Amino acid sequence: MSSTNGLSGGAAVMLLILLVGIAGLLVLLERLYVIVLRSKTNGRPFIERIIQLVRGGKIDEAIKQCASSTAALPDIGLVILRSRSRDETDLENVASAAALAVLPRLTRRLEYLPTLSLAAILLGVLGTVRDIQSAFLAAAAPANHPVLMTNLSNALTPIAFGLSVAVVLILGRSYLVSQAESITEQVREFSARLINALIDRPDVRLGHR
């Protein structure tokens, strides 16, 4: 009876870990779409093309280029270019407000992933402890001693599964954070250089390689 209960408890824990993994995967896929597919653009060529258009006095063409995409950089450029002011302070305020509206979308829900990773690990530990306990209880009878090592080996399955789920979620989060930081840096560079172009100040290529 104890062995059966242990197996059913282990199966329930494995199911919970699987559900945590599915939830984490859904977050990863949603963030992958928002950060990499929707918000990311070919940043360097786009920045150089818009700056060149603005410095050539082709503001309408630059606005049209920005309006043709929903990525983060074009969104910022569109807000700045449509500003009627050409005062540096006003433009910086507009750029800051635009960044506050655009950038938080990049990191939204990313903090769910460490929590889900920890939940998967803890559930794995719980399942392993339960299975070890059941294995020792099942081995209390002398006739069951030979199966003790097999049961102990099987008891490691939940923690192994939980760790595997956690590794995938943590690595996925690290990749998405790096992509979000890259977009954030490009937004800051683009804003500064675009403002310089609008007020006809010499270009400074921040972080240019």
Separation CA 113–CA 116 (nearest Å):
5
Dump pLDDT digits (tens) for 59-112: 999 999 999 887 888 999 999 999 888 888 999 999 999 898 888 888 889 999
CA 118 from chain centre, in angstroms, equals: 16
pLDDT at 135: 74
Specify the long-range contacts of residues 98-106, CB closer than 8 Å, at least 24 apart.
98/191, 99/187, 99/188, 99/191, 102/72, 102/75, 102/76, 102/187, 103/72, 103/183, 103/184, 103/187, 105/34, 105/39, 105/72, 106/34, 106/35, 106/39, 106/72, 106/180, 106/183, 106/184
Q: What is the pLDDT of residue 150?
A: 73
Scanning the structure block, which residue is given the tokens 């403002």? 195
Query: In whole angstroms, what is the distance from residue 8 CA to residue 102 CA?
Result: 47
pLDDT for res 110: 92
Q: What is the pTM of this model?
A: 0.77
Q: What is the pLDDT of residue 175?
A: 94
Which residues of the chain are modeled with pLDDT < 50? Answer: 1-7, 206-209
**In the prediction, which pLDDT does 157 show?**
87
